[in-house]
Structure 1
Amino acid sequence: MKTAKYFIEKLGLQTHPEGGFYKETYRAKEEVENEHGNKRNLTTAIYFLLENDNKSHFHKIKSDELWFHQFGATLEILYIEKDELKTIYLGNDVENGEVLQATIPANTWFASRMKNYESFGLVSCTVSPGFDFADFEMAKKQELIKTHPQLSAVLEEMCLD
């Protein structure tokens, strides 16, 4: 039986600043200029793994991000849309509403966690235009609570500071 530790070691995953583990697997050589006038690689891809109570804390990026379920249990992707908290269940139980892939639009606050904290999930993520840490913003808990007080319980759990 393959475990989180197996994938972390075999894929060479390292700790991600937002939480969980990752490894970049692709960065296009071609570049595009994003809407802010900055050059970015056309697209990037990573492996991303969460286990047990690991969380990918609320953050946003300036590009669309596509998530693809690869192995293991279901992840919950939480995102804020029009002051409402929405949830995508990324997993392989499509008969019960899970999806194999999901898109998080650019500039959307989002986070993820395991649906069942006694498991792990391995996903792949692609970003286009490509990911750059200059386009990455971690949520400031108190600021997000101030703008979304109705979501304070989940923000307390899913924000770092």
Structure 2
Amino acid sequence: MKSASYWVELLQLTPHPEGGFFKETYRSSEVAGKECLSDGFTGKRNFSTAIYFLLRSQDRSLFHRIKSDEMWHYYAGGSLTLYVLNEGGLRTYKLGTSLENGESVQIVIPANSWFGAKVNEADNYVLCGCTVSPGFDFEDFEMASREELLKAFPFEREVIELLTQPT
């Protein structure tokens, strides 16, 4: 198996604000105007965007949310767990190739859900891709506040403390 540093160097990945490493690989040339988008978008957006995303076992993708659906695609490494908080409470999904053990090679995170991730195995990594539609814009990106998440989801303290920065 290739190492995490192999992929970071080969794919020219850079640190991501929420944790891990990334590189944008696609941004559609077509754009949807505000009148075509749901409430909450402040301007036009590309139809779709895609990135490579790599997490190592020592990294965490901290809780954040965006205004679009985000599909995760598995490429290489171990497996990771995605933690999703929304009005339905906490749901977890495993991204990996062990389909017979409940893992999936694609997972969709609904728009406006808080989500974060961590690699399941020690001394491992996961290389995946994320496709966002309407396309990703940092204007739609919000990092979670530990304090606010604990107020909204008081029974999920352990995972919230794992995937947020101390306040």
TM-score range, shorter chain: over 0.9
2-structure distance, mates of 1:72, 1:119: 7
Task: Please state if 1:108 is matched with 2:113.
Answer: yes
Task: Give the structure 1 partner of residue 132 of structure 2.
Answer: 127
Task: Give the structure 1 partner of residue 18 of structure 2.
Answer: 18
SS at match of 1:2: coil
Contiguous gaps of at least 5 residues in structure 2: none
* Preserved CA contact (<8 Å) 1:93 1:99: yes
- What's the Cα RMSD here? 1.1
2-structure distance, mates of 1:55, 1:122: 13
State the 1:117 CA deviation: 2.8
Task: Give the structure 1 partner of residue 81 of structure 2.
Answer: 76
Q: Scaled by the length of structure 2, what TM-score is found?
A: 0.93
1:82-161 paired onto structure 2 within 5 Å: 82-161=87-166
Q: Scaled by the length of structure 1, what TM-score is found?
A: 0.96
* Preserved CA contact (<8 Å) 2:57 2:120: no
Letter in 2 for 1:23: K
Contiguous gaps of at least 5 residues in structure 1: none
2-structure distance, mates of 1:71, 1:39: 34
Residues 37, 154 of structure 1: CA spacing in aligned structure 2 closer, same or farther, 3 A cutoff? closer
Bigger drift between 32-41 and 6-15 goes to 32-41
Letter in 2 for 1:73: G
Letter in 2 for 1:59: H
Letter in 2 for 1:129: P
Segments of 4+ moved more than 6 angstroms: none
Percent same amino acid at aligned positions?
Answer: 47
1-structure distance, mates of 2:58, 2:90: 20
SS at match of 1:57: strand
